[in-house]
Structure 1
Amino acid sequence: MSVQQETAPSGAATLRRSILGTELGPCTVRVQHGTDGLRPATGTPDVYLHGAAGSWTTFLPLLSRAPSHDRVLIDLPGWGDSTSGCRPERFSIEAMARAVTEVLDSLGYQRWNLVGHSMGGFLALHVAATSPERTASVATISATTFGVAGAARRPLRSLFRFPAFVGMLTVMRAMAALGPAGSALIRAVGTTPVMRPLLAPFFADPAAISPQVIRGLGLDARPASFLAAARAAARYDFSQWRGVSCPVLALRGDRDVFTPASDLIRLAAVIPHIQPATVPVCGHFANIERPEYVQALLDDLRRP
């Protein structure tokens, strides 16, 4: 394990950066220590899991204040700083969730709160189902569950209901076929004005999103990992979520193109202790568009 210190771009606090081994390859994780002073063995951190088109940096708007307890920000194997030595051919929801618990075990945590965006919400629910005694709470932000999994299985049949996802899946397939050149092309486009209209469907007010965020999403694109995650979602058995026993907050933006309201209804039919909520004037990235609103809901979820 290698350890480094770095400062969060938000300037909120120093992050302790480590590289830990998992069954899917080396995983880069950043820990922001809380002011409560509790050791990992006794503290309950907030663990952030990003989506298939992101990295730990998509949670930066939620890190503006000093935390009372530890925050753990994971670049999942295949994304962000965790691409070297990754094994996407081994991807499954189960394997990615095991990678998360491997990281948390290596850090010494016994229990945790999970915050997952998009695919990260999917993973958080699986971790909660398979480690119920260790999961204190789950908050999903636009979790890509039933609808996107069905679209991944049958993209043509789902074109009219999920055009943004099917379009993104098609682009990622084309870019993955180009190998490293495909990723380089996406990164190059991400530095041009073309990227903003391409990402417009994912935000309620695209013009309000900073150029740094737009460029960051382009830099975070990992076509092969995106495709592997889509295949994993398509194969998943959602009945496993009946094992979730902790409180669950399930958020979606009212203009979310990936997470329809029907997904929250179906989640409520499977998960017993769930609080669905719709974030107004918001697309797929509530953690970026409405961070204060999201943080208030997270605080309510964890309040005794």
Structure 2
Amino acid sequence: MKQQIRGIYYAYRWQHPYNDQLPTVVALHGFTGSSETFIPMFGQAQNYNILMVDLIGHGQSTVYAHPLRYEVPQLVADLAALLTALAVPTYILYGYSMGARVALAWTVLYPDAVAGLIMESGSPGLATTAERTLRFKQDRRLAIKLMQEPLTAFVDYWQALPLFASQKALSDDQQKVVRQGRLQQSSFGLAMSLAYGGTGKQPSYWDALATIHCPILYLAGEKDKKFQEIGLKMKDKQPHISYQLIPEAGHCIHLEQPVMLLQHINQWVSQIESTT
């Protein structure tokens, strides 16, 4: 299904028909992914609604839009409007990697309807202007690479990053599915997402962590040292964050340890519901 928001179409899918008597979890995928990323993990019926959204430039959502619409503050304004259009009054946000950055920004900028935040391998951005400037230059070079070379070349480069090394332990069939999903994306959409919605362009939300009042669950993989450290630093800023380390998982926990991850999510959602 698709919904037009300020001239842009956002594709979304309900894992099961919406039930207004149940809480809703909104799932946001990572860079080069789509809503299909979460279907295997959420395959069984849960005690909550699951809404999976294709972010701008990904999946079946609009690709060719003004570059400024890719910026995170503009993106979360669209997403909040999408949930209003779908008549979902409150919801829990769950994001992976890029989707986790977006979910955090959404929680900071449009907190009223957000009942909880789940971040899988995400960050609040880069803390200093110097860090953001350097990363923006790196992201822009990658965006140019995307526009100048075949998408297959970029996917080869992306999959070879040390961050994703643990995914080589997945079965051959799983790796083929992940690769095919990346190859189905638009080079232009990915380039715009990097250049305008990447970590180098995103505002820092480190200081905003202390202002968040909804419950937060942070999930990091045992093999992902970088995001373990980020999660612990976030907990220093916001002591009420629940921090979970998932064994035998790297950056993409929902692919590498989906059963264990879903158990943590289900338990945490149930706890939230029992206190509201």
Answer yes or no: same fold by TM over 0.5: yes
Distance 1:24 1:198, change over 3 A: farther
* CA-CA distance at 1:137 after TM superposition: 1.4
Distance between the aligned counterparts of 1:76 and 1:196, measured in 2?
Answer: 19
Unaligned runs of at least 5 residues, structure 1: 1-16, 158-165
Distance between the aligned counterparts of 2:94 and 2:140, measured in 1?
Answer: 24
Contact 2:125 2:205 in 1 (8 A): no
Contact 2:91 2:113 in 1 (8 A): yes
1:125 is the counterpart of 2:100:
no
* CA-CA distance at 1:122 after TM superposition: 1.3
- Among 110, 125, 142, the alignment partner of 2:121 is 142
* CA-CA distance at 1:169 after TM superposition: 6.5
**Equivalence for 2:67:** 88
**Equivalence for 2:211:** 243
3-state SS of paired residue (1:154): helix
Distance between the aligned counterparts of 1:284 and 1:81, measured in 2?
Answer: 25
**Deviation digits for residues 115-135 of structure 1 (CA, Å, limit 9, x no counterpart):** 100111112122222333321
**Equivalence for 1:46:** 25
3-state SS of paired residue (1:21): strand
Unaligned runs of at least 5 residues, structure 2: none
Contact 2:30 2:96 in 1 (8 A): yes
Contact 2:56 2:70 in 1 (8 A): no
Contact 1:189 1:218 in 2 (8 A): no
- Among 163, 179, 189, the alignment partner of 1:214 is 179
Distance between the aligned counterparts of 1:226 and 1:289, measured in 2?
Answer: 25
**Deviation digits for residues 166-215 of structure 1 (CA, Å, limit 9, x no counterpart):** 6x764333223x3xxx4xx114775xxx5796256414241424211222
Distance between the aligned counterparts of 1:62 and 1:148, measured in 2?
Answer: 32
AA of the residue aligned to 2:19: L
For residues 243-262 of structure 1, the aligned pairs below 5 Å read: 243-256=211-224, 259-262=226-229
1:225 is the counterpart of 2:190:
no
3-state SS of paired residue (1:228): helix
* CA-CA distance at 1:48 after TM superposition: 0.3
Q: Calculate percent identity across the aligned residue pairs.
A: 20
Q: TM-score, normalised by structure 2?
A: 0.82
1:153 is the counterpart of 2:133:
yes
Contact 2:96 2:122 in 1 (8 A): yes
Distance 1:107 1:231, change over 3 A: same
Contact 2:93 2:117 in 1 (8 A): yes
AA of the residue aligned to 1:153: T
Distance between the aligned counterparts of 2:199 and 2:126, measured in 1?
Answer: 14
Q: TM-score, normalised by structure 1?
A: 0.75
